[in-house]
Amino acid sequence: MARRVSTRTRRSAAHRIDLVRRVQLPDRVRIARCERSPDLGPRIAFFSGGTALRGLSRRLIRYTHNSIHLVTPFDSGGSSAVLREAFRMPAIGDIRNRLMALADQSLHGNPAVFRLFAQRLAKTESSAHLRAELERMAFDRHPLVAQIPDPMRKIIRHYLQTFLERMPTGFDLRGASIGNLVLTAGYLEQRRHFDPVIYIFSRLVQVRGIVRPITSRDLHLAADLSDGRCVVGQERLTRRGAHGISARIDRLYVTADRDAPQPLEVPIRRKVSDLIRSADLICYPMGSFYSSLIANLLPTGVGPAIAATPCPKVFIPNTGHDPEQRGLNLTERAACLLAYLQREAPRRLKPADVLQYVLLDSRHGRYGAPVEREALERLGLQVIDVPLVTPASRPAIDADLLAGHLVSLAL
């Protein structure tokens, strides 16, 4: 089903020249052109974290090798928490997930790297057993490593050996992701810089896109709840059921101290600002609403960089249950997103500068309540209502459909 929409963009704050372009969703011609030459595909920028975009990322590389993924480094649960505590570093797991999702799986050796990076050590074995298995990967002929061709095998073994050398006494290897251990070793060896190790592994497995943490600081998420409590730690925000938060999130911020949380202003680097400003489409995608999406907008400079970018900006709301959205209908989520985007300069940044469209499927998507089109339009947003959910993907969004729509919307 085709739908005609009007895409409005602004050249700059100085000129305020509106450009209007007619596009068709899905634009079959544009999709076919991108599929023929994905190396020339659009620069679609995503603000996300976690695994919600894994399927989309794998489909997207069919159409573009230029997508930009700004990822949250605030994960503080499971094996990520062990690494963060041991090395006082940001979380690296979401970066690893996105790198591997964007890796070209058709290249020789890449599926073997993917299997190794996805491997986790057992949760029930002894420390001695787990160390011995890791040593087999680093020095011996462990089957998962032996399948990887050189030079990738030598580089991965080098980083596993580096991790073993730097691993603190008593480090808990239970449930550890091998990919996280390799990237952590690279991060430490590169004097605690993310960019060099991301570059090395992007080249090794031919990552078809750009992946960067929104900040390289060792920080945590904190949330003030409507019942007056303060919750610190990403893992506490995303818990489901009886162990999850039981009140609405009123405010999210980053903090350096888990025990005595205070809001911290952290500016984005110039490199991150330049990536945002280079986008042909900015996407606020599905995923955990606060800990994945809003968390990426907290560093200072994000909102102004988005506003200065002359491209369409689109919000893709969740179509399933998200415990972080407690107490928020779709209109309230859109208003919340706008508030965080405009928070640095609420009088100077207009809603249209940072968000213009809501892409949804009112027929098959589950948004918690009927879609209030008029309320969204009063916020200055245009609803683009197209098929996104299929019988096979329900209740999630179909990655192929979404990839086609995003390619069609990009300038």
- Per-residue pLDDT of 124-161, as tens digits, reads 999 999 999 999 999 988 999 999 999 899 999 999 99
Global pTM exceeds 0.75? yes
Separation between Cα atoms, residue 234 and residue 231, nearest integer Å: 9
Cβ neighbours of 295 (radius 10 Å): 29
- Per-residue pLDDT of 12-48, as tens digits, reads 332 333 333 455 789 999 999 999 999 999 999 999 8
Per-residue pLDDT band at 242 (split at 50, 70, 90):
low
pLDDT at 171: 96
Q: What's the mean pLDDT when you consider all of the chain?
A: 90
Per-residue pLDDT band at 327 (split at 50, 70, 90):
confident
pLDDT at 240: 65
pLDDT at 92: 93
Q: Which comes out higher in pLDDT, residue 369 or 391? A: 391
By CB atoms closer than 10 A (0-12, 13-18, 19+), residue 225 is: middle
pLDDT at 243: 61
pLDDT at 77: 84
Separation between Cα atoms, residue 262 and residue 60, nearest integer Å: 38
Closest-CA residue to 48 (of 221, 260, 286, 270): 286
Amino acid identity of residue 377, one-letter, is E
Is residue 10's pLDDT more than 90?
no
Q: In this structure, what token pair is assigned to residue 331?
A: 């209109």
By residue count, the chain amounts to 411
Closest-CA residue to 409 (of 319, 314, 337): 314
Q: To which H or E segment does residue 28 belong?
A: helix 28-36
Q: Where are the domains of the chain?
A: 3-72+266-409, 78-213, 222-258
Is residue 252's pLDDT more than 80?
yes
Is residue 262's pLDDT more than 80?
yes
Separation between Cα atoms, residue 341 and residue 358, nearest integer Å: 15
How far apart, in Å, are the Cα atoms of 342 and each of 109, 136, 339, 346, 354? 45, 51, 5, 5, 8
* Bond from prior residue into 267 cis (ω within 30 degrees of 0): no
